[in-house]
Structure 1
Amino acid sequence: MSSLVRRPPLVFPAAARHTATVIFVHGLGDTGHGWAPAVENWRMRSKLDEVKFILPNAPQIPITANGGYRMPGWYDIVSIDGSADSLRRSEDEAGILQSQQYMHSLVQSEIDSGIPSDRIVLGGFSQGGAMSLFSGLTAPFQLAGIVALSSYLLLSLKFPQLVPKPEYNKATPIWMGHGDRDNVVNFQLGKRSHDMLKEMGYNVTLKTYPGMAHSACPEELDEVEEFLRSRLPALGDKAQDNGKSEL
């Protein structure tokens, strides 16, 4: 596992002064390019001009549910039968923890380049949303927010033991979106994950999209954009002032 070959992420620089970063993680079988149109649409609307977008690419790994066929994946999946419990059975803990380390390294690189962790949002779709949720809540730094679309909480049976102390993201806003006709990541699994996090005291919201299958709709993407704007407001002149405070 340690010899995984990773393609570099797809990066969209901030249109204005770079003061915030969004790392958005694709799902199984996809690449960072799969979410490029959504990012380009957000950039075109000029509401997130200070945000740099990073779209990571998963390594090619064998997926048991697909007969061992290699495809871009953040962790192996044994079964995808549409039931709420299939994705929780025989979870690939080693693969999940390896991808978690990679997600943390992407955030750390942004921190090292001068972006505070509380100006960074980690989000994704399906496997990517699951990795963002898990990696964000187990991170050793406080994030601005977490987005999890059509996804669920990984390693939920032992999750409390995997969270660091102190819990840096106990109060971090988490935005989950899920279609109630999802036949890949069952809606009930997403709702169960939301309810479990709520019971543990996390600041989590779940938005349900009636009739939506395992996908994202324009309304959902608009609401993600609003969440990003609320968590990463433009700093404008304040960023400039901070940059020359010692002059």
Structure 2
Amino acid sequence: MLIHGLGGSPSNWGPIVTSFQGDPELQHVKWELPQAPLLPVTANGGAVMPAWFDILSFDFNTEEDKAGMLRSLRSIDAFAAAEVAAGIPSERIVIAGFSQGGGMSILAGMTSARRYAGVSGLSARRAKLRQMRSEHATTLPVFWGHGTRDPLISFELGVSSAAFLRDELGVPTTTLQSADLRGIAFNEYRGLVHAVDDRELDDLRGWMQRVIPQMTALGS
């Protein structure tokens, strides 16, 4: 499941999905691309746009739209529930997102009663709903990617968000090179702004190959 960012749409993921579908080790993956509802966004002068929740200020020091986050969490869970009902175990589902969608992905993984294969946040920040941490939070593979020159969600905010998961929620740290991907693998991309690039996508691709390998690979 790939979750777009503020003001975006599922089509934003189109080139990435096309690229990943061409990978022999990811051809077994089914891609779901949810669409955010249209909401007035306070930080954008009340303009109505696709958003998973309201943003009160882009300095991110204000109260958060907890009701909007909870509504979107229910929507993400409904997508996952439909896949489980269709025969895909939740342990074979990855939730990944960019920016606001990345924050929702991390939040979904940290709070869901479902055990997912992993979650990923690209250019994201964490939410503050610490009391909702699930029993799976400390063993979930988390891919976090952030550019050092991100002008919207600063690299420092990305670092502190990952540190929050570690220090406040007890999520361990790991790396993409580790044999055990459970925990946060925080990946820094020098010079990258509020976007994704080939370096980040190559790392995400390799991580996905490991957390949702082909069934034949599981049985070998």
Structure 2 counterpart of 1:196: 164
- Aligned residue number for residue 38 of structure 1: 16
Work out which of the two has the higher radius of gyration on C-alpha atoms and give 1 or 2: 1
Q: What whole-Å deviation, never above 9, does each CA across 1:178-225 have from its counterpart, x for those lacking one?
A: 001111111111100111112232111110111111000111011111
| Mapped partners of 1:56, 1:182: distance in 2 | 25
Two-structure CA RMSD over aligned residues (Å): 1.4
Give the one of 137, 141, 145 matched to 1:173. 141
User: CA 1:163–1:238 in structure 2 vs 1: closer, same or farther (change >3 Å)?
Assistant: closer
Please give the alpha-carbon distance, in whole angstroms, between the structure 2 residues aligned to 1:237 and 1:177: 26
Q: Report the counterpart of residue 110 of structure 2 in structure 1.
A: 137
Question: Which residue number in structure 2 is paired with residue 128 of structure 1?
Answer: 101
User: Hey, what's the Cα distance between the residues in 2 that align with 1:169 and 1:50?
Assistant: 26
Identify which of 151, 155, 178 aligns with 1:187.
155
Q: 2:193 aligns with which of 210, 213, 227?
A: 213
Q: Secondary structure at the match of 1:37?
A: helix
Residue 88 of structure 2 corresponds to 115
Q: TM-score, normalised by structure 1?
A: 0.81
Gaps of 5+ in 1: 1-22, 81-85, 240-247
Percent identity, aligned pairs only, is 36
Matched, 1:97 2:66: no
CA gap 1:113/1:135 in 2 versus in 1, 3 angstroms: same
Partners of 1:132 and 1:147 within 8 A in 2: yes
Partners of 2:69 and 2:61 in 1: CA distance: 12
Deviation of the 1:238 alpha carbon: 7.4
Change (3 A) 1:45 1:237: closer
Aligned residue pairs, count: 207
1:60 pairs with 2:28: no
2-side partners of 1:36 and 1:133: how far apart? 21
SS of structure 2 residue aligned to 1:205: strand
Alignment of 1:11-26 (within 5 A): 23-26=1-4
